[in-house]
């Protein structure tokens, strides 16, 4: 038995190493053939690895918290919005390299939807990055100061999905706007970007403070993108009112 454990360890068969004894006993009780036993053991090993891979991708994605699509209250959205979000859950937009832009006031479910789609992507073995736009600008400037901007860009382009949250809450200086524009242009029509923002396209100039750059940014990000305008009151305010009434 110790030899089996050693071999499983060398081969990096985590499930087999931990569960081979129980699997052997179960196979003997069921009088399973060697073929059936091997098939069950390898299937369980594969499932174990896939589950570990999902956990690793979710950890690397840097989600601030975990929100799942199954927890979304679709009946709180207008019917058209709910149907658009349901369509996104197929993740077809990832295979097509299309962008998704969620527009709406704070508290209407933009971030929950974005994180839910991000976690669903991780479960489909996609590499995801979640980051707020202000933090992204900060990281870009720090990378440039450390002469690591090229490496940062190479890493950024490899993600299957990048979720940029909170576009519109903080404006940028000229350097930050140009860095962001150049970074996002690298992914144009090749890899998907999901953006949440509280501002309509007509107000993006308030963030970038440059009409030409703003127009170019909107042109690249919105081209063939799914744009969902989530209207309604903040669910946090609704929940607070319900709590106070109770």
Q: What is the mean pLDDT of the chain?
A: 92
- Is there a contact between 17 and 41 (Cβ–Cβ < 8 Å)? no
Q: What is the pLDDT of residue 193?
A: 97
In whole angstroms, give the CA distance from residue 228 to residue 19: 47
**Is 237's pLDDT higher than 80?**
no
More confident residue, 241 or 86: 86
> pLDDT by residue (tens digit) across 62-83?
999 999 999 999 988 999 999 9
Average the pLDDT over 208-225 and give the result.
Answer: 93
Please list, in sequence order, all residues whose beta carbon lies within 8 angstroms of the beta carbon of residue 172, skipping any fewer than 6 positions away: 137, 180, 207, 208, 209
Q: What is the pLDDT of residue 26?
A: 86
> Is 104 exposed, middle or buried (CB count within 10 Å of its CB: 0-12, 13-18, 19+)?
buried
Average the pLDDT over 192-210 and give the result.
Answer: 95
Q: What is the pLDDT of residue 222?
A: 94
Q: What are phi and psi of 97, to 5 degrees?
A: 65, 30
> pLDDT by residue (tens digit) across 81-112?
999 999 999 999 999 999 999 999 998 999 99
Average the pLDDT over 40-57 and give the result.
Answer: 94
Per-residue pLDDT band for 171 (boundaries 50, 70, 90) equals confident
Per-residue pLDDT band for 151 (boundaries 50, 70, 90) equals very high
Structure tokens belonging to residue 68: 């799942």
Which of the residue ranges 22-26, 51-55, 103-107 would you say has the lowest mean pLDDT? 22-26
Average the pLDDT over 178-205 and give the result.
Answer: 94
In whole angstroms, give the CA distance from residue 45 to residue 51: 10
Which of the residue ranges 38-47, 87-96, 226-235 would you say has the lowest mean pLDDT? 226-235
3-class secondary structure, 212: helix
Print burial letters for 202-225: b (CB count within 10 Å at least 16), e (below 16): eebbebbebeebbeebbebbeeeb
Q: What is the pLDDT of residue 149?
A: 96
Q: What is the pLDDT of residue 153?
A: 96
């Amino acid at each position: 038995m110790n030899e089996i454990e050693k071999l499983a360890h060398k081969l990096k068969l985590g499930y087999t190493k931990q569960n081979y004894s129980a699997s052997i006993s179960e196979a003997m009780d069921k009088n399973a053939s060697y073929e059936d036993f091997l098939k069950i053991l390898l299937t369980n090993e594969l499932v174990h690895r896939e589950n570990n891979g999902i956990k690793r991708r979710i950890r690397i994605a840097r989600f601030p918290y975990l929100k799942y699509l199954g927890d979304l209250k679709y009946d709180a959205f207008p019917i058209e919005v709910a149907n658009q979000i349901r369509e996104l859950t197929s993740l077809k937009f990832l295979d097509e390299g299309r962008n998704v832009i969620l527009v709406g006031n704070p508290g209407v479910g933009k971030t929950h939807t974005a994180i839910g789609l991000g976690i669903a992507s991780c479960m489909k073995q996609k590499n995801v990055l979640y980051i707020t736009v202000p933090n992204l600008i900060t990281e870009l400037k720090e990378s440039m100061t450390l002469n690591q901007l090229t490496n940062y860009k190479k890493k950024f382009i490899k993600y299957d999905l990048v979720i940029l949250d909170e576009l519109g809450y903080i404006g940028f200086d000229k350097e930050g706007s140009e860095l962001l524009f150049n970074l996002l242009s690298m992914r144009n029509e090749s890899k998907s970007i999901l953006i949440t923002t509280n501002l309509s396209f007509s107000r993006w100039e308030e963030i970038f403070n440059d009409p030409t750059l703003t127009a170019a940014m909107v042109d690249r990000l919105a081209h063939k993108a799914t744009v969902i305008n989530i209207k309604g009151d903040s669910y946090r305010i609704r929940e607070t009112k319900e709590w106070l009434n109770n």
